[in-house]
Amino acid sequence: MQRILDLEDAAPAELLEVLPGATVPFWAQVRMQFAWLLSEESTGSIDVASDNWTRWGELSRLARAFLPNRWDAVRRAKRHDVLFFVGGGTLSARGARARNWLIEDFAEATPDALVVQRRPLPTPLGPPSFSATLSMESATARSRLWARRHVVPAETQTTIDRLLAFFAERLGIDPTRLRSLRARIRRTEAHRPHELAELRRLVRRVRPRIVIMDTASYTYNGETVGVFKDAGAYVVEPQHGWIGPSHAAYNYGRAFQDPRLRRALPDALFTFGEFWSEGVRTPSETTALGKPHLDRLVLEAESARDPRILVVSSRADPGETDSFVQDLRSAVGSEWTISFRPHPAERDAVVERYPLISAHPAIEIDASPDVYDSLAKTRVVIGVASTVLFEAAAFGCDVIARDNTFAASIIGDAFGARVNSAVQAAERLAALNADGVARRVPDPYLWSPAATENYRRWLASRPSSP
């Protein structure tokens, strides 16, 4: 992370170069990918390659894209004051419907709200519980069709290669590691004009005053943020997970004071609490609202719980985690149930990344869509560095932090001394309160109370449309 900040503080002219047809500098488009390459070097965080594309699936998407479709946002959206533009992956099952735990409380508190998600509808959990919800899936399918056989112009490709080489050299990254990034850029260049055209059609229909967009600080979404800003909308990102001084999406150097790069970032950032606001370095205005989903489910959770351990993954060092969980199963008594929860990005690759865990008959794989459903019935949570550790404490779980090369900079000693082995974790378990009663007291510094009321006050303070 520091290498990226140093590059941005130096602010070379290359950071501001814009590719033909784009509206934000190329650096914004690739910044997060370079951060992930650096993260692989320094933290052991390993990316997960997934490809669920099938010819039949693509044909089905295209059919839905061109036939009448009740979920098609671009063709069915109407005027709304506040647009929630989300990925659609932050879901929990509530009855036979899918609730977006990230933004739905805020949407329900908004007099004139529309939710548009990128993923298809209905979801695997059912139709959305918030009725004014549409999808960009059909627009994406149309864009992919129009982008077929697109070839990046030679001059543009030369510029891309020159800038990638410059960034790699300044960041100390072996240029041979850029192959997959180059392929991703070619796809982006092919799809971008068509996807942005669809997005502009949506914006003309909705004409939002405020856009609340998840991952808006991930600057590869900068063109999307720019479209909303061009339409006069105030763009806000709601915090969805861990943020702090080592997270590239929330820490920026001097170059982002330039309006050309600033265009790629949201105007504001909603955080869970002051703790999170104080840990970032972003030009976006931060407001500590809280997390209404946590407020509600903490109150609903039972205090008395069975002896259950939940080990959560952060994607770092999967081989080491695989061995740790197996060793933990051997080190603790049979009265303890052990569940392993993969990172959301790992769910389709659990057997490949965690063969020992997957094959062990006495270790469960936690597949609950909402981790809060799991925390509500868990006594102990073990992990390396994850927002889930802080959330677990709010649910009254005992938290044991594992040590590795980056845990000190992310969670420090927030949960006591970090353990280096399953044996040490078992010793900590033996010393814990044995009554099985969870003390649910969310820390207001981490989780600002009355999140929905805080949001209502914030919304009322925003100027009305002219």
pLDDT at 396: 93
pLDDT at 48: 56
Characterize the bridge pairing of strands 133-135 and 337-341: unpaired
pLDDT at 139: 96
Q: Give the pair of three-digit tokens for residue 243.
A: 């943020």
pLDDT at 465: 61
What DSSP designation does 465 have? P
pTM: 0.92
User: From CA 40, how far away is CA 315, in angstroms rounded?
Assistant: 10
pLDDT tens for the 466 residues of the chain, in order:
899 999 999 999 999 999 999 999 999 999 999 999 998 766 555 555 555 667 777 788 888 888 889 999 999 999 999 999 999 999 999 899 999 999 999 999 999 999 999 999 999 999 999 999 999 999 999 999 999 988 899 999 999 999 999 999 999 999 999 999 999 999 999 999 999 999 999 999 999 999 999 999 999 999 999 999 999 999 999 999 999 998 999 999 999 999 999 999 999 999 999 999 999 999 999 999 999 999 999 999 988 899 999 999 988 888 999 999 999 999 999 999 999 999 888 888 899 999 999 999 999 999 998 999 999 999 999 998 888 999 999 999 999 999 987 777 778 788 989 999 999 999 999 888 666 667 777 899 999 999 999 999 999 999 876 5
302-430: CATH architecture = 3-Layer(aba) Sandwich (3.40)
Residue corresponding to tokens 């479209």: 227
pLDDT at 424: 96
Instruction: Give, for 364, the enclosing helix (H) or strand (E).
Output: strand 363-365
Q: Which of 72, 83, 105 is nearest to 228 (CA)?
A: 83
User: From CA 458, how far away is CA 119, in angstroms rounded?
Assistant: 28
Give the type of residue at 255.
A
Give the type of residue at 318.
P
Q: Which of 349, 387, 58, 71 is nearest to 242 (CA)?
A: 387
User: From CA 95, how far away is CA 18, in angstroms rounded?
Assistant: 47
Q: How many CB atoms lie within 10 A of CB 193?
A: 16
pLDDT at 170: 97
Query: DSSP strand E in 26-150: where?
Result: 82-86, 91-94, 97-100, 113-117, 133-135
pLDDT at 50: 55
CA atoms within 13 A on the CB side of 43: 22
- Helix 179-206 to helix 222-230 angle (10° resolution) is 20
DSSP 118-134: SS-SSBTTBSBSSSSEE
Exposure class string for 213-223: b at 16+ Cβ within 10 A, else e: bbbbbbbbbbb
pLDDT at 46: 54
pLDDT at 236: 99
| pLDDT tens by residue, 270-329 | 999 999 999 999 999 999 999 999 999 999 998 889 999 999 998 888 899 999 999 999
pLDDT at 344: 85
Q: Give the pair of three-digit tokens for residue 172.
A: 């100390």
Q: Which of 145, 138, 127, 144 is nearest to 67 (CA)?
A: 138
Helix (H, G, I), strand (E, B) or coil at 41: helix
pLDDT at 193: 94
Q: Write out the residue limits of the CATH 3.40.50.2000 domain(s) in the chain.
A: 302-430
Q: Give the pair of three-digit tokens for residue 19.
A: 């590719």
User: From CA 243, how far away is CA 275, in angstroms rounded?
Assistant: 10
Cβ atoms 198, 139 nearer than 8 A = yes
